[in-house]
Chain A
Amino acid sequence: MSNDTNSLLSVRGVHAAAGGKPILKGLDLEVKPGEVHAIMGPNGSGKSTLARVLTGHESAEVTAGEVLYKGQDLFELAPEERAREGMFLAFQYPVEIPGIANSTLLREGLNAIRDHRGESELDAIDFLQIARAKADILEMDHAMLSRAVNYGFSGGEKKRNEVLQMLVLEPTLAILDETDSGLDIDALKIVAKGVNALRAENRSFIVITHYQRLLDYIVPDVVHVLADGRIAKSGDKDLALELEAKGYAWLEEGANA
């Protein structure tokens, strides 16, 4: 893979450990503005670890390699600075935060990002208008905005709430970690609609998924397979179909061959 200076994100030879155990073993990935990359791979292959490395979660310990984001050394930035620079993670397991209203979190987050960009903070009324319009896209009840963040939400509601936050925060690089798992087909279509509504020339996505199904609705530019701590294979959207048909074992055989 080339070290393209036009990349939004360049992951170069990253090794990372979780709980002392090496998980990522020399991972490379180039994401250009406007691209949608899908990352697939068996359970435990390190997909979420990659998301944690990129967003700065301390449980993912980077032992080698570098990551450039917008041309700067990503590891120099604290997690909140990465967020303010437009990096967003839709968590595989969204965290419940009793006591903080969804709308409060969204407003604080959006204003932190706007502040970072030198834009004025939004007042409560303007903000609420934006938040409601985005909730409408996802067919979410406005009452969800005043509920505590993910607190007592069903699995599907949590996933949808992640996408709502993404729509409000309008990231430059959105990482979706198994946002489709646990969703029925209707919910999946709605989530895909939310993601597609955000697709733009200057915005990129890394879509981590287990199932080819999601990629029928969010059509990726590139599909990668993560195995044995590296990108074992990359291809176009047909790779996902092939994986679906043959299973990951096929790939591991190939990798070991």
Chain B
Amino acid sequence: MNAPEQIERTDKAALNPEIDDLTKRDYEWGFVTDIEQDSLPPGLDEGVIQFISAKKNEPEWMLEWRLKAYRHWLKMTEPTWALVDYPPIDYQAISYYAAPKSADDAPKSLDEVDPELLETYEKLGIPLEERAALAGVAVDAVFDSVSVATTFKDKLADLGIIFCSFSEAVQEHPELVKKYLGTVVPTTDNYFAALNSAVFSDGSFVFVPKGVRCPMELSTYFRINAANTGQFERTLIVAEEGAYVSYLEGCTAPMRDENQLHAAVVELVALDDAEIKYSTVQNWYPGDKDGKGGIYNFVTKRGACRGDRSKISWTQVETGSAITWKYPSCILQGDDSIGEFYSVALTNNRQQADTGTKMIHIGKNTRSTIISKGISAGHGQQTYRGAVKMLRGAENARNFSQCDSLLMGDKCGAHTFPYIDVKNPTAHLEHEASTSKIGEDQIFYLNQRGLDTEDAVNLIVNGFCKEVFRELPMEFAVEAQKLLSVSLEGAVG
């Protein structure tokens, strides 16, 4: 980036009084120190977006893209149709840029970490060295993750696979980012997606070239800097013709995060004969027993099966967050393309989740499968919201949907809203739904056979979720089971 461009940006920033103050304050150290500023005061306007973009050394087109999204966002209103209830969010009270914390602020060792958090790690069976990393202990002091990540990256590079942070991709592969970004989730798509497009912090970028099968599960865990993607994460995954990739997002350990609002966007693109498998285990802080302090998770995830015979599968296990608003979807554009959605969502205490999927059938012989398992305990409220659309050209499209709810106790709730819109008479849809309750009689029956209540609940819950768990990569599935049992501790008996 050259100097005149940078100066132009400071000028734009000066339009905003707050940024104006900030730049004035910093002026004596000159512009360079200005972008080394570690965080912005709360507030959002064009100056803030310019600051973020400059901070990331982004090319002009990226800034323009962000600004366009921001200007559109200003004209939008926050959606209210979801069955979740939370106090109004003050978007001017949020700080939109915070640099990764330096190692100096991080806990120096596990002794400095909240014992309750450590106890949870222990229950989940997370290896000692990983616990430290998760709790934010300065990683280099514990184990050399960087070298692991580097060998991993070399292996992928040999195959022509790109796997890096989103910021890095903007710098190193701008043509690819430009070609695909916003083509699945347009900046104008919805309120939270528009906000994300304007202010996104970082995220992941994956590109698997034609004919390449990615030989390992890609996990953010192995990506350097993964810990600090921030509250507005942006992910883009592209599988070219015949490519295959399995991507794992998240982590079963409860992630600490001071930001309450999270609005991520994930875009997947599968070309002819390509397959993308995207698995998530989300376990953000759900808040205390009364729901205080939990994360609001408003995510837009969408995959485009752009090519013929392409396939996209979403598998998610959602146990965290105070509020979840999330509908991983598939646009089945290519003929014979396949979309799948396998979901387990758990709400306990005061957690609320409105989640589901959209399957949009455009091409001929497109097929989709929806398996949704909702578990509510305590005062948890859960809504399944699913839409299956079959457009006029979707000859012989097929959908199978199954939505099951499991209730524990009598203060929680489960709601199901399936929307169906069929424009082609050859389309075929099947929908099954059930609601069951973990009754005290079931627990007693299992107690009477020698099982304690915790094992009894786990057995019932795992049985209920098995169709989803078997879609997860093996070690993830084992972790997910443990996670559910920890999340449900004390929910019965």
Interface residues of A (CB under 8 A from B): 55-58, 78-80, 83-84, 88-89, 91, 94-95, 97-101, 104-106, 108-110, 112-113, 116, 148, 165, 169
Once the chains bind, are B460 and A83 in contact (CB under 8 Å)?
no
Once the chains bind, are B451 and A99 in contact (CB under 8 Å)?
no
Once the chains bind, are B460 and A80 in contact (CB under 8 Å)?
no
What are 19 A-B contacts with C-beta separation under 8 Å? A56-B447, A57-B444, A78-B452, A80-B447, A80-B451, A80-B453, A84-B450, A89-B448, A94-B445, A95-B442, A95-B445, A97-B446, A99-B466, A104-B459, A109-B449, A110-B450, A112-B452, A116-B450, A148-B463
Pick from B440, B444, B464: contact of A99, CB below 8 A: B464
Once the chains bind, are B449 and A83 in contact (CB under 8 Å)?
yes
B217 at the interface (CB under 8 A from A): no
B residues less than 8 Å from A55 (CB atoms) = 448
The 3 closest A-B pairs by CB, nearest first: A99-B463, A109-B449, A112-B450
Once the chains bind, are A100 and B463 in contact (CB under 8 Å)?
yes
Q: How far is the CB of A133 from chain B (nearest CB, A)?
A: 19
Q: How far is the CB of A99 from chain B (nearest CB, A)?
A: 3
Once the chains bind, are B447 and A78 in contact (CB under 8 Å)?
yes
When C-beta atoms are compared, the residue in chain A nearest to B464 turns out to be A99
Once the chains bind, are B445 and A113 in contact (CB under 8 Å)?
no
B436 at the interface (CB under 8 A from A): yes
Once the chains bind, are B460 and A108 in contact (CB under 8 Å)?
no
Task: Give the docked Cα–Cα distance between A57 and B439 (Å).
Answer: 13
Q: How far is the CB of A1 from chain B (nearest CB, A)?
A: 27
New A-B pairs, 11, CB < 8 Å, besides A97-B446, A112-B449, A112-B451: A55-B448, A78-B452, A80-B450, A83-B449, A91-B445, A95-B441, A99-B463, A99-B464, A100-B459, A106-B449, A108-B450
Once the chains bind, are A105 and B459 in contact (CB under 8 Å)?
yes
Once the chains bind, are A108 and B451 in contact (CB under 8 Å)?
yes
B455 at the interface (CB under 8 A from A): yes
Task: Give the docked Cα–Cα distance between A98 and B451 (Å).
Answer: 17
Q: How far is the CB of A187 from chain B (nearest CB, A)?
A: 22
Task: Give the docked Cα–Cα distance between A76 and B105 (Å).
Answer: 51
Once the chains bind, are A97 and B460 in contact (CB under 8 Å)?
yes
A residues less than 8 Å from B440 (CB atoms) = 58
A79 and B444 in contact, given A105-B449, A109-B449, A116-B450 (Cβ under 8 angstroms)? yes
Most buried by A among B444, B446, B449, B460: B449
Task: Give the docked Cα–Cα distance between A110 and B466 (Å).
Answer: 22
Task: Give the docked Cα–Cα distance between A99 and B462 (Å).
Answer: 8
What number of B residues sit within 8 Å (CB to CB) of A?
Answer: 22
Q: How far is the CB of A226 from chain B (nearest CB, A)?
A: 21
Q: How far is the CB of B460 from chain A (nearest CB, A)?
A: 6
B residues less than 8 Å from A78 (CB atoms) = 447, 452
Task: Give the docked Cα–Cα distance between A148 and B460 (Å).
Answer: 11
Q: How far is the CB of A51 from chain B (nearest CB, A)?
A: 10
Once the chains bind, are B460 and A79 in contact (CB under 8 Å)?
no
Q: How far is the CB of A189 from chain B (nearest CB, A)?
A: 26
Q: How far is the CB of B467 from chain A (nearest CB, A)?
A: 10
Interface residues of B (CB under 8 A from A): 436, 439-442, 444-453, 455, 459-460, 462-464, 466
When C-beta atoms are compared, the residue in chain B nearest to A149 turns out to be B445
A residues less than 8 Å from B453 (CB atoms) = 80
Once the chains bind, are A83 and B447 in contact (CB under 8 Å)?
yes
Once the chains bind, are B447 and A79 in contact (CB under 8 Å)?
yes
Task: Give the docked Cα–Cα distance between A102 and B202 (Å).
Answer: 48
Task: Give the docked Cα–Cα distance between A94 and B464 (Å).
Answer: 19
Once the chains bind, are B459 and A80 in contact (CB under 8 Å)?
no
A residues less than 8 Å from B439 (CB atoms) = 95
Task: Give the docked Cα–Cα distance between A233 and B466 (Å).
Answer: 52
When C-beta atoms are compared, the residue in chain B nearest to A83 turns out to be B450
Most buried by B among A89, A106, A148: A89
Task: Give the docked Cα–Cα distance between A79 and B449 (Å).
Answer: 9
Pick from B452, B462, B463, B466: contact of A80, CB below 8 A: B452
Task: Give the docked Cα–Cα distance between A88 and B447 (Å).
Answer: 10
Task: Give the docked Cα–Cα distance between A105 and B446 (Å).
Answer: 8
Task: Give the docked Cα–Cα distance between A3 and B180 (Å).
Answer: 84
Most buried by A among B440, B442, B448, B459: B448
Once the chains bind, are A97 and B445 in contact (CB under 8 Å)?
yes
B residues less than 8 Å from A112 (CB atoms) = 449-452, 455
When C-beta atoms are compared, the residue in chain A nearest to B453 turns out to be A80
Q: How far is the CB of B198 from chain A (nearest CB, A)?
A: 44
Task: Give the docked Cα–Cα distance between A213 and B451 (Å).
Answer: 34
Once the chains bind, are A98 and B450 in contact (CB under 8 Å)?
no
Q: How far is the CB of B481 from chain A (nearest CB, A)?
A: 13
Once the chains bind, are A83 and B448 in contact (CB under 8 Å)?
yes
Once the chains bind, are A98 and B463 in contact (CB under 8 Å)?
yes
A residues less than 8 Å from B446 (CB atoms) = 97, 105, 109
Once the chains bind, are B459 and A98 in contact (CB under 8 Å)?
no
Once the chains bind, are A109 and B460 in contact (CB under 8 Å)?
no
B residues less than 8 Å from A83 (CB atoms) = 447-450
Q: How far is the CB of A52 from chain B (nearest CB, A)?
A: 9
Once the chains bind, are A88 and B464 in contact (CB under 8 Å)?
no
Task: Give the docked Cα–Cα distance between A56 and B448 (Å).
Answer: 9
Pick from A58, A84, A100, A169: contact of B460, CB below 8 A: A100
A residues less than 8 Å from B450 (CB atoms) = 80, 83-84, 108-110, 112-113, 116, 169
Most buried by A among B436, B444, B450, B451: B450
B residues less than 8 Å from A89 (CB atoms) = 448
Q: How far is the CB of B30 from chain A (nearest CB, A)?
A: 65
Q: How far is the CB of B469 from chain A (nearest CB, A)?
A: 12
Task: Give the docked Cα–Cα distance between A106 and B449 (Å).
Answer: 8
Most buried by B among A58, A104, A105, A116: A105
Once the chains bind, are B451 and A109 in contact (CB under 8 Å)?
yes
A residues less than 8 Å from B449 (CB atoms) = 83, 105-106, 108-109, 112, 165, 169
When C-beta atoms are compared, the residue in chain B nearest to A104 turns out to be B459
Q: How far is the CB of A155 from chain B (nearest CB, A)?
A: 16
Q: How far is the CB of B162 from chain A (nearest CB, A)?
A: 42
Q: How far is the CB of A101 from chain B (nearest CB, A)?
A: 8
Q: How far is the CB of B421 from chain A (nearest CB, A)?
A: 31
B residues less than 8 Å from A113 (CB atoms) = 450
B residues less than 8 Å from A101 (CB atoms) = 463
Q: How far is the CB of A70 from chain B (nearest CB, A)?
A: 16
Task: Give the docked Cα–Cα distance between A94 and B444 (Å).
Answer: 11
A residues less than 8 Å from B445 (CB atoms) = 91, 94-95, 97
Once the chains bind, are B448 and A79 in contact (CB under 8 Å)?
yes
Task: Give the docked Cα–Cα distance between A110 and B463 (Å).
Answer: 19
